[in-house]
Amino acid sequence: MRGVILAAGDGGRLRPFTDGIPKVLMNFRDQPLIMYPMKAMAVAGISEIGVVVGYKASDIIESLKLWQPPGIRLDFIYNPEFDGENGVSVRAAREFVGTDDFVLSMGDHVIDLEVVKQIAGADPSPAMLAIDSMAWTDGQLSDATKVLVDRNGYLTDIGKRLEEWNAVDIGLFRFRPSVFDVFDMLYERHGSALELTSVMRYLLGQPYGVTTHDVRGLFWSDIDTEDDYYSADELFGRVKPSDTRR
C-alpha cells in the first residue's frame, strides 16, 4: 500500500500566515503541518509516500528532505494545474501509485497517529472514506464536507450544503488504483475544477459503493483559517494524541 499527500495549494485563506510559505509547511506544535499525515502513514507501515506539489514546490521539497521520517521514501509529484481543485492533484499521482492500493490524505490536516492505521487495516473495498460522527470543534465543522451514511456504513450523500447528514468527511481516503479511471473520466467533464467530492458522488452510485470508517474519538482538525489554527492548537494542548475521546 502507498500513501499520497496533497500539498499543491497556496493556502490563500490563511494569509498573512502563508505569505511566502506553503501552507503545509506552517509550524504547528514544533513541526510542519504536513508531518502529521506523513507520520501517521509511517506508523501504519506505509513506507512509500507521494507528495503532490505545485505552489512553491521547491520549498516543500527542500524542507521535507530535512523532516523525512526514517525508513520513508518520498516521491514528489508536480501538479501543473495546482491552481485547480483537489481532484486534479489526486489524478497527478496515477503513475506513482501504479498497481497498489493507496491511502490519500490532505497535507494541511492535523491527525492522530492512529487514524491512518485504522483506515489501512480496515476491510478492503474499492473506495473508503474516513468520517467522524462526533465532530464538534470549529476546525472540524466550520467548512466541513458533510456526509450521510446508512446503517451499513455506506456513503449515501456528500457535500458542504447537505441538510441531512450524520458525520463529516475528515479528508482521508483509501482507494484501489482503478479509481484513477474515474478521475480521468470526470476530468474530461470538469477539467481543473474537478473536486474529490464530485468523484465520491460518482462512486457512491456505483454497484460497489463507498464504504466508510468512523474515527470518532481520535483527534483531527482541518486548518483552513486563522481561527481553525488557534482552535486546533488549544484542543491539541488539552488532549493526549491517540487518546482524544470526548
Q: Tell me the per-residue pLDDT of 187-231, one tens digit each, with 9 for 90 and over.
A: 999 999 999 999 999 999 999 999 999 999 899 988 888 888 888
Residue 21 pLDDT class (50, 70, 90 cuts): confident
Higher local confidence (pLDDT), 88 or 226: 88
Tell me the average pLDDT across 10-30.
Answer: 79
pLDDT at 188 (0 to 100): 97
Cell of 57: 514546490
Q: Which residues are bridge partners to 149 per DSSP?
A: 155
- Please provide the DSSP assignment of 39-56 as one string: HHHHHTT--EEEEEEBTB
pLDDT tier for residue 123 given thresholds of 50, 70 and 90: confident
Taking the complete model, does pTM exceed 0.85, yes or no? yes
pLDDT for res 244? 38
Residue 31 has pLDDT above 90, yes or no: yes
Nearest to 183 by CA among 78, 90, 67, 52: 90
Phi-psi region of 234 (alpha: psi -120 to 50; beta: other; left: phi over 0): alpha
Average per-residue pLDDT for the chain? 90
Contact (CB, 8 A) for 194 and 186 = yes
Do residues 192 and 186 lie in contact, with contact meaning Cβ atoms separated by under 8 Å? no
Residue 138 in this model has a pLDDT that exceeds 80: no
pLDDT (0 to 100) of residue 201: 97
Tell me how far apart the alpha carbons of residues 93 and 101 are, in angstroms, rounded to a whole number: 12
Residue matched to cell numbers 509529484: 77
What does the pLDDT average to over 135-162? 89
Q: What is the pLDDT of residue 232?
A: 83
pLDDT of residue 240: 47
Q: Do β-strands 155-159 and 146-149 pair in parallel, antiparallel, or remain unpaired?
A: antiparallel
- The pLDDT of residue 16: 66
| CATH number of this structure's domain 2-238, picked from the four choices 3.30.1360.120, 3.40.50.300, 3.90.550.10, 3.20.20.70 | 3.90.550.10
Residue 90 buriedness (CB in 10 A; 0-12 / 13-18 / 19+): buried
Q: Are 3 and 48 contacting, i.e. CB atoms less than 8 angstroms apart?
A: yes
Please list, in sequence order, all residues whose beta carbon lies within 8 angstroms of the beta carbon of residue 46, skipping any fewer than 6 positions away. Answer: 1, 2, 3, 103, 116, 120
According to the model, what pLDDT value does residue 207 have? 94
What percent of the chain is modeled with pLDDT above 70?
92
Q: Give the domain ranges of the chain.
A: 2-238
